[in-house]
């Protein structure tokens, strides 16, 4: 019988994760998800203990509009990578979901073949229905998966909106999947998402849709010509793929590897990782400060009335914030 989470020691968690035990990895992720203070303290000690074992994986973010075929593509790509000797972890992010912890069964159903592979690990990344949850919990889950020996981490954004930007800021390569033939190719996804893409792949380039996919790819290549690349080293390519038919996925992965090699050679890869680490710290600080403020008894008592006054237009938000800061002893600007 398994020991309860509270009875597991730091050493048991750490050695279990380092050994690649998927069951222990799942329990460690549950630990970092927990909102209990005693669990939070142990979780942070665990992450610190595993720090030297993290950072070695290639982190790939994948996004796209609903119906674009993200799960099928990730499923097939994951199978290809495992056949090539990799260990693959997939974290599915959905900040719009209010369900506690997301739907593990749903994610595994959508990636049925990958879910059966012993060298794969699929997990919804917990968000608590907030964008802040995306950045905090996904980063911690990613670190645990890396410590467990998974050398490719794929972060799939299930939701649509700011989650794409959040995920792009925590991965090494950000892939945008698009569809052709919908009549709104250039309007189907925000310009801002295109600007942060490291590659665009037109999916479902199969059957009668091949020509439409090639035409859409040509349109996006032309559109990218007028955008300033994020890096002087890398211009985002546009390719066509079929997750269903496993077409173009080898080229997709070759491009991801080529990107890493080029960015590593110029030092941009290390700088990107460093910026992400500092951003993680900043996000954590914001979360802790907000939690501390809201747990202040005076603030907790006054906050509902302040929110009501702001909601009803009787108080400007700035003055409400000033009052809260004064209550905790911080001088308002």
Domain map (residue ranges) of the chain: 1-52, 54-265, 279-327
CB 172 within 8 A of CB 272: yes
Q: What token pair was written down for 282?
A: 């900043």
Candidates 219, 209, 211; CA nearest to 243 is 209
Residue 230 pLDDT greater than 90, yes or no: no
Residue 297 CA to residue 304 CA, distance in Å, equals 12
Locus of tokens 């501390």? 292
CB 123 within 8 A of CB 107: yes
Task: Label residue 121 exposed, middle or buried (CB < 10 Å: 0-12, 13-18, 19+).
Answer: buried
What residues does 90 pair with on adjacent strands?
122, 154
More confident residue, 166 or 298: 298
On whether the pTM is more than 0.95, the answer is no
Q: Could you report the per-residue pLDDT of 83-113, keeping only the tens digit for each?
A: 999 999 999 886 555 444 444 445 556 788 9
CB 84 within 8 A of CB 72: no
Q: Could you report the per-residue pLDDT of 64-77, keeping only the tens digit for each?
A: 888 899 999 999 99
Long-range CB contact pairs, 279-285, < 8 A, 24+: 279/135, 279/169, 279/170, 280/135, 280/139, 280/170, 283/132, 283/135, 283/136, 284/136
- pLDDT for the residue 227: 75
CB 131 within 8 A of CB 166: yes
Work out whether strand 88-93 and strand 238-240 pair parallel, antiparallel, or are unpaired: unpaired
Sign of the alpha-carbon dihedral angle for 36, 37, 42, 48: positive
How many residues comprise the chain? 333
% of residues, the chain, pLDDT over 70: 84
Residue 165 CA to residue 177 CA, distance in Å, equals 15
- Residue 313, sorted as left (phi over 0), alpha (psi -120 to 50) or beta, turns out to be left
What CATH code is assigned to 1-52?
Answer: 1.20.5.170
- Residue 129, sorted as left (phi over 0), alpha (psi -120 to 50) or beta, turns out to be left
Residue 221 pLDDT greater than 70, yes or no: yes
CATH value of 54-265 in 3.40.50.300, 1.20.140.10, 3.40.50.150, 3.30.413.10? 3.40.50.300
DSSP code of 241? -
Q: Could you report the per-residue pLDDT of 120-177, keeping only the tens digit for each?
A: 999 976 555 555 445 578 889 999 999 999 999 999 986 556 677 888 889 999 999 9
Residue 6 pLDDT greater than 80, yes or no: no
Q: Could you report the per-residue pLDDT of 240-270, keeping only the tens digit for each?
A: 999 999 999 999 999 999 999 999 999 999 9
Sorted by sequence, the CB contacts under 8 Å of residue 186 that are 6+ apart come out as 219, 220, 223
- pLDDT for the residue 103: 46
- pLDDT for the residue 263: 96
More confident residue, 28 or 104: 28
Q: What token pair was written down for 117?
A: 């592979």
The answer to whether 1-52 and 54-265 have equal CATH topology is no
Residue 207 CA to residue 2 CA, distance in Å, equals 50
């Amino acid at each position: 019988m398994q020991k309860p989470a509270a009875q597991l020691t730091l050493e048991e968690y750490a050695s279990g994760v380092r050994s690649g035990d998927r069951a222990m990895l799942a329990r460690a992720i549950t630990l970092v998800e927990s909102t209990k203070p005693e669990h939070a303290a142990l979780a942070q000690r665990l992450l610190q203990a595993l720090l030297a074992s993290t950072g070695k994986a290639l982190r790939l973010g994948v996004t796209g509009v609903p119906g674009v075929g993200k799960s099928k593509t990730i499923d097939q790509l994951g199978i290809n990578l495992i056949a090539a000797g990799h260990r693959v972890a997939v974290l599915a992010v959905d900040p719009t979901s209010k369900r506690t912890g997301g739907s593990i069964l749903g994610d595994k159903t959508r990636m049925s073949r990958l879910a059966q592979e012993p060298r794969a690990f699929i997990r919804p990344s917990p968000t608590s229905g907030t964008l802040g949850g995306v950045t905090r919990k996904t980063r911690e889950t990613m670190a645990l998966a890396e410590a467990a020996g998974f050398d490719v981490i794929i972060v799939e954004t299930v939701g649509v909106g700011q989650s794409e930007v959040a995920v792009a800021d925590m991965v090494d390569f950000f892939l945008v999947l698009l569809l052709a033939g919908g009549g709104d190719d250039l309007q189907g996804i925000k310009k801002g998402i295109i600007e942060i893409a490291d590659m665009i792949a037109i999916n479902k380039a199969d059957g009668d849709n091949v020509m439409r996919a090639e035409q859409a790819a040509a349109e996006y290549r032309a559109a990218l010509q007028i955008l300033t690349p994020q890096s002087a080293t890398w211009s985002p390519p546009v390719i066509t793929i079929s997750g269903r038919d496993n077409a173009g996925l080898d080229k997709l992965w070759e491009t991801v590897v080529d990107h890493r090699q080029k960015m590593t050679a110029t030092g941009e890869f290390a700088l990107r990782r460093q910026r992400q680490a500092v951003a993680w710290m900043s996000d954590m600080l914001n979360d802790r400060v907000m939690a501390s403020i809201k747990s202040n008894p005076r603030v907790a008592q006054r906050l509902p009335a302040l929110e009501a006054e702001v909601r009803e237009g009787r108080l400007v938000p700035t003055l409400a914030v000033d009052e809260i800061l004064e209550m905790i002893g911080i001088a308002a600007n």
